[in-house]
Amino acid sequence: MTANLHIITTPTADTPGTILILHTVSRSYVFGNHGEGTQRAITHMGQRLTRVQDFFMTGRTEWNNIGGLPGMVLTLADSTTTRYENAKAEFERKQSDTKKKSNTRTNVEPERPRLNIHGPPNIKHMLGTCRRFIFRKSVPVHATEYKDVAPKRSEAGHILPSWQDSNIQVWSLPVAPSNVSEHVQLQHRLDQKRSAYDMHFNDFDEHQAPDSESLEDRELRYDRIRTALVKHMFDSNWSMDTLQERHISEIELPAPALFVRNPDSNKLEPYHGPLPGGDQPLPDVKVLTRTPWPGALITALPPSLPASESLSYIVRTHGARGKFDVERAKKLGVKPGPNFSRLTAGHSVQSMQNETITPEMVMGPDRPGQGFAILDVPTLGHLEALILREELKSDHIMMGIQACIWLLGPGISGHPKLQTFMNTLNHVEHVVSSVDDCPNRLAMDSVAAQTIRLGQIDVHRYHTPFHDNCTLPQVGLQGRISRKEGPLNNAVVAERGMVFRLMPSYALSKEAITPLLSIPEIKATTPQDIIDLGNAARKDVENHKTALEAWKRLIARPDTEITTLGTGSATPSKYRNVSSTLLRVPGVGNYLFDCGENTIGQLRRVFAPGELIDILLNLRMIWISHLHADHHLGTTSVIKAWYNVKHNGVPANTPPSMPSISTCAPIYGLSVISHGAMLKWLKEYSFIEDFGYSRILPLQVDPVIGGRESGSTLMLSPNPNLKGYESEYTLKREDYQTVLGLSDIQACKVSHCNGAMAVSITFPESSADASTNGTSGPLKVSYSGDCRPSHNFTKIGRGSTLLIHEATFDDELWADAMAKKHSTTSEALSIAARMNAKAVVLTHFSQRYQKLPVLQPAAEDEEHLPAATATEEALEGEEIEEEEDAEDPTMSNMDVTPMNAGGAAVPFTKAHWHEPGERVVKVRSPNMKVAVAFDYMRVKLGDVAQLQYFHPALSKLLADEALEEGLAGGEEINGNGKKVSGDDGDGEERKTKKKSKRYN
């Protein structure tokens, strides 16, 4: 048996915790902090999770430790399902071939995949809050919570492992800090909430509260509720094609999508007749409606409180049998062959002299299991409780433990109590990972190297990501916390790539440690022709200075800065993180459009701590376009960073009140505007962590409806949704400027998923704008989120100064864009032209390849381009589709699609496809300037026009990088440096293998 433990991350700006992966011959296991950026960091380290089904989370249930888990589980659920389906298809094919050949030999049927999550209390609650955006089938997720209770023991009195399989044994060590006191008032409020939950909000008929229920039994019942909900999310047999027939009078409001069967054609048609509660009489008709997705029926989770337990583990491999002594067996007269195998397997055999030979006679001594302890200590109180644990003093458990990996909170490293305890475990190797000992090195090497090269081309827009290889402790948003204690003795500092060889014998290897990124070496390897193209671009900017200044005068608030923090789609990749764009408007404030996983890490790389503190202090609004994981999973950590900087982590005493909000806005200060489901997710998660929810204004936006004059309204969430109470919860337009810094905000539904919206925000006209003879007007910024081209979006965005639009697919992949409800490059630019937008930033690119479309201005005789005509045709019928995407309670999970819920997939036709090759995208508006976004790009709005001159250099750089990676991976590259295969995860591989799917 072999077993090796790899350190994947240490604490840095964009890898907040420590992750370790234990590899054995048959399985791999993930241990540590599963914070945001974990999945991306694992990719950068070249590690694969194909054999992982067990995740052991350490520390407390806080977003800093668990924020990367939902996205990683989504990815693994997809990939494991795909592998299982491929393996099962291969198994069935072989079974069929066997029957045809009358062969009695059978194959082993593949094991159905599952994921096991081990963690501290409230892990199930956290997973349950994700029910609005996670839907997967046939991948059971089993969550186990370890609480600070007495461990189970064997008959001999030994503490039993908390979990084990054929490779390892695991002892969980949950500890609550020794200095925690009971909060009577909080417990009283919790009891009130739980009583209300059981009376009004418990949707599980089989888990209703019985009479005279003890507190312990109630906790067990709540645990069963949370477990059942997680099963609905990952192991449901629900299908959106399943319909049930009911009389129209039995339909409950809000009504789901309703259908009737045409008696002539026997086909289903939408029902548009009267509904219960309306003014018109109901017809005597039966309608068909979808069977609700089980998660849609669950309005609330059992109330909970933050848990103080921090979780650690002791892990040990099973012992291995001794080595078979061939020479000894021969001397004892054992015939070589099957008898050798039987002895090795532990069975006795007969020698050639007819004597019984037992395994003990030919096997060397058994090798004991080897292991490690991973000890997560966030505070001194946790340390004081941990060192008292019996498991760490037990010879029975600690036998074979060779290393202690300490994950320490700020200020714990070097504490005398820690040092004293380490000295008592002097037979093990101590390795420390903390912000006190590990520098803020660059962790995402690929994108850092790319950004350094981009900076060689365009020094004003791209800068080396912030890092500090020397300063300890690390400088954070609270400044540098000076070390109060001396350095640790007899301990090794954890480093990325460090490997602990556990079996067959222990050794600590530093050979694979990832070296620090060398900026001079990266710059030296940039090809000279790319440097020359960059120099030529700067000369072009200088030569066209007059025209560029004239265009800049057309722009309102030209010093507004756009920072593209994440420009990829679906899942984070080596070069592009998931969606987020920061808008900084001088004198007004800062605005985030979408907030994908690890947005806070991207912010900490783009800006030094001092500048980032200023950004957070002036952060006024976060807009979340829809509830797909790649657009919102970073919201919690950004709010918490803002909360700590702005309010020092102190909650508000009272909830916000709309009638008086203009006078008390500074008490709150950050508005989160989105679909109601997003705001409910934030509220539900706030039950288990104080991340700042009490200080934000959660505002639900009412989208503009096509054909109606009324615009969007903003209402505090949650609200009673009752007539007569609107003024108590609606933000008045006269308060927009005080609360949001805006004069207007309009949103509209778009075709992508349930609840998806695009937005357009308008700022008050500045004195500088007014002085430009009215040519610029007020600053207006429109953001698409994810969508197909939208007619309503062009209406609310008309006259935009800046359009930020997704361009997920290249034009040649129009069929993919249609199927996944995204836009192509030409479609995005056509929308910009219809809006008469002056500046466009294209973002949200497919992760399958690095993308830089070739942009050229259209000539006068190219007014009606094929791509533009297709967009116009799409917009003609698109408004109907938006209306049909109205709220449907059966589809309340944004992750549900026809492809992953048993419905009919979008058909592909040959006419959808364009031939691959270099595609030139025409820009139809002469005054419209286009920027193609990369992560970490910072551009002033008035300078967007300069970027066109840098396109040749950027295109050459990316073509070279794509060619290099493609050759390494054996993929075919086209003339643009793009992979010829345009499948973004929804098509089929060559031959018959399916690919894993993400529906974001």
What would the 3-class secondary structure string for 293-338 be? CHHHHCCCCCCCCCCCCEEEEEEEECCECCCECHHHHHHCCCCCCH
Per residue in 346-366, pLDDT (tens digit) is 899 999 999 999 988 988 877
Confidence (pLDDT) at 883:
41
Comparing 40-54, 327-341, 802-816, 852-866, the range with the smallest average pLDDT is 852-866
More confident residue, 733 or 93: 733
Residues 6+ apart with CB under 8 A from 893: 131, 132, 133, 134, 135, 293, 295, 296, 754
| Cα–Cα nearest to 641, from 615, 623, 667 | 615
Asked whether the predicted pLDDT for residue 995 surpasses 60, the reply is: no
- Would you state the structure tokens that stand for residue 750, as one six-digit string? 């778009």
Q: How confident is the model at residue 909 (pLDDT cuts 50, 70, 90)?
A: very low
Asked whether the predicted pLDDT for residue 589 surpasses 80, the reply is: yes
Per-residue pLDDT, averaged over 418-434, amounts to 95
Q: Inter-axis angle of helices 528-543 and 951-969, to 10 degrees? A: 160
More confident residue, 654 or 781: 781
Asked whether the predicted pLDDT for residue 916 surpasses 60, the reply is: no
Per residue in 437-487, pLDDT (tens digit) is 999 999 999 999 999 999 999 999 999 999 999 999 999 887 656 555 667
Confidence (pLDDT) at 907:
37
Q: Are 757 and 675 in contact (CB under 8 A)?
A: yes
Residue 521's alpha-carbon distances to 135, 516, 524, 917, 943, in angstroms, are: 45, 11, 5, 34, 30
Per residue in 951-984, pLDDT (tens digit) is 999 989 988 776 666 544 444 333 333 333 333 3
Domains and CATH numbers, the chain: 3-94+111-181+368-447+478-509 (3.60.15), 243-292 (no CATH), 326-361 (no CATH), 527-859+920-961 (3.60.15.10)
Confidence (pLDDT) at 78:
86
More confident residue, 850 or 793: 793
Per residue in 778-827, pLDDT (tens digit) is 999 999 999 999 999 999 999 999 999 999 998 888 899 999 999 999 99
Q: Any bridge partners for residue 324, and if so which?
A: 363
Calculate the average pLDDT of the chain: 86
Read off the DSSP letter of residue 198. Answer: I
* Bond preceding residue 292 cis, omega within 30 of 0: no
Please tell me the distance from the alpha carbon of residue 436 to that of residue 691, in angstroms, as a whole number.
Answer: 23
Per residue in 592-611, pLDDT (tens digit) is 999 999 999 999 999 999 99
Comparing 188-197, 579-588, 598-607, the range with the smallest average pLDDT is 188-197
Phi, psi for 794 (deg, rounded to 5)? -65, -30
Q: How confident is the model at residue 263 (pLDDT cuts 50, 70, 90)?
A: confident
Q: How confident is the model at residue 913 (pLDDT cuts 50, 70, 90)?
A: very low
Residue 857's alpha-carbon distances to 845, 907, 929, in angstroms, are: 22, 34, 10
Q: Are 268 and 260 in contact (CB under 8 A)?
A: yes
Confidence (pLDDT) at 988:
34
- Would you state the structure tokens that stand for residue 656, as one six-digit string? 């916000």
More confident residue, 769 or 316: 316
What sign does the dihedral 191-196-198-199 (CA atoms) show? Answer: positive
Residue 735's alpha-carbon distances to 96, 328, 705, 740, in angstroms, are: 70, 90, 23, 8
Confidence (pLDDT) at 992:
39
Q: Are 440 and 467 in contact (CB under 8 A)?
A: yes
Confidence (pLDDT) at 463:
97
Comparing 425-434, 633-642, 889-898, 926-935, the range with the smallest average pLDDT is 889-898
Q: What percent of the chain has pLDDT over 90?
A: 64
Confidence (pLDDT) at 367:
78
More confident residue, 969 or 737: 737
Please tell me the distance from the alpha carbon of residue 461 to that of residue 468, in angstroms, as a whole number.
Answer: 21
Strand (E) or helix (H) holding 582: strand 580-585
Q: How confident is the model at residue 885 (pLDDT cuts 50, 70, 90)?
A: very low
More confident residue, 981 or 36: 36
Residues 6+ apart with CB under 8 A from 525: none
Q: How confident is the model at residue 336 (pLDDT cuts 50, 70, 90)?
A: very high
Asked whether the predicted pLDDT for residue 430 surpasses 90, the reply is: yes
Comparing 325-334, 682-691, 824-833, 914-923, the range with the smallest average pLDDT is 914-923
Asked whether the predicted pLDDT for residue 889 surpasses 50, the reply is: no
What sign does the dihedral 817-822-828-832 (CA atoms) show? Answer: positive
Q: Are 964 and 574 in contact (CB under 8 A)?
A: no
Please tell me the distance from the alpha carbon of residue 959 to that of residue 964, in angstroms, as a whole number.
Answer: 9
Which of 82-91, 359-368, 555-564, 654-663 tops mean pLDDT?
555-564
